[in-house]
Amino acid sequence: MINLGSSSLKFNLFKIINKNLSSICSGICENIGNSHSTIKYNYNEKNFIQEIFLQNHKEAFKYIKKILCSEKNAPIKNFDEIYAIGHRVVHGGDFFSEPALVDDEVIEKIRALIPLAPIHNAVNLEGILDCKQEFPGVKQVAVFDTSFFFNLPEKVKKYPIPSDLSEKYHVRKYGFHGISHSWALKKYIDITGNRNSKIISCHLGSGSSICAIKNGEPIDTSMGLTPLGGIMMGTRSGSMDPSVVTFLTSKTNMNYKEIDEILNKKSGLLGVSKTSSDIRKLFEYNNHNCKLAIDMFIYRIIKYIGSYIAALGGLDALIFTGGIGENEPKIREKICKNFEFIGLKLDKNLNLKNVYNNIISEKDSKVNVFVIKSSEEFAIAHSILSTLKN
């Protein structure tokens, strides 16, 4: 399983044992293109870290190959043992309602969608092409973050702009983090056995989104045409008055590309705090701008949850997942406090313990609160198996 970021490469090697998946070697290459590149990985319950200059993703792939096969006591003896490679691809557009076996047509469709997710799809495609070269003959499966939301209700996914424009340029709400939200739903069903619930899933991390799910189907999600929409994030502004863009264009010498760069990479927690996009550091610095950034982040999450409770007609379960959702009890507590009026009671002791894949609300709470550990790697691996069986 491969999950590429602009300067990172996550990998996870799974073994199929009695039709179940078991991770045998996983890791991440960080700061690719930087002189301080590192590779961290786990194998045989041991953690390894190596500092090495990785000029690009292609070099990272070659080093991963060395870890998996060339090292002494490596996880596999030769690459013929690799059954398939799965890739997280951020944007599937109107093309992909489910995972796809990669061929030339799929590659060209992913390429065509780069303008809708320029930061992500270009890198995702690079990973597919690198794997095609480094692992010739191995089947590849693309798993799309947007597929979970493919069948959103028309009243939700359509934007109120002239229909001719939206139809010609495929402008609609696509939604993202679908792999994470669908995994959270799966784990919720595994834990409760209940498929007929009103759920709000909060994927909170450097990129964040909120999703409303009714009876196992998403009915709305905060991200839209691109991953920029929705709540405020680490470096992204989230949704706001669209006139901000036209106003800045008229008042400054910036063109739309420069403004796009600001909204995607220099806004959010980083832009407001003037310090960092990492919420842990904002808690540490504890100055006015850092406090304001945290307050704005929480407030926008609360607003989305409130609107989705109305859209769902109630709430059975609130799920926290993603890096912040799983590991920041202060954020969870501040969010949950605002929903005590609907009978939500957070168990403060369980919340502080960061209990994964379990309930952290009190027994008499009218809304169950869960922390679900995100595992996009397992979700993608399951998608590979189901795709290749069909």
- In this structure, the number of other CB atoms found within 10 A of the CB of residue 104 comes to 7
Half-sphere exposure of 175 (CA within 13 A, CB side): 28
* Same fold for the pair 2-148 and 194-376: yes
Query: Per DSSP, what are the bridge partners of residue 142?
Result: 87, 100
Q: Which CATH architecture has domain 2-148?
A: 2-Layer Sandwich (3.30)
Domain ranges of the chain: 2-148, 194-376
Lowest pLDDT segment from 59-68, 262-271, 294-303 = 59-68
Q: Write down the pLDDT at residue 348.
A: 95
pLDDT mean over 335-361: 94
pLDDT band at 331 (very low <50, low <70, confident <90, very high): very high
Least Cα distance to 151 among 114, 182, 195, 130 occurs for 182
Alpha carbon distance 296, 23 (integer Å): 38
End-to-end CA distance of the chain: 19
At 390 the pLDDT is: 67
What gap in Å lies between CA 173 and CA 155, rounded to an integer?
A: 10
Q: Which of 29-43, 154-168, 246-260, 348-362 is the least confident region?
A: 29-43
- Predicted local confidence at residue 57, as pLDDT: 84
Catalytic residue among 94, 103, 145, 364: 145
Residue 308 vs residue 22, higher pLDDT: 308
Distance of CA 183 to the CA centre of its chain: 11
Instruction: Report, as an integer, the average pLDDT of 121-137.
Output: 89
CATH number for the domain formed by residue range(s) 194-376: 3.30.420.40
Higher pLDDT, 390 or 58: 58
Instruction: Provide the pLDDT for residue 56.
Output: 85
Q: Is 145 a catalytic residue?
A: yes
* pLDDT average, residue stretch 172-195: 95
pLDDT of res. 71: 67
Task: Read off the pLDDT of each residue in 250-254 and give the average, rounded to a whole number.
Answer: 91
Over residues 343-372, mean pLDDT? 94
222 burial level (CB within 10 Å; 0-12, 13-18, 19+):
buried
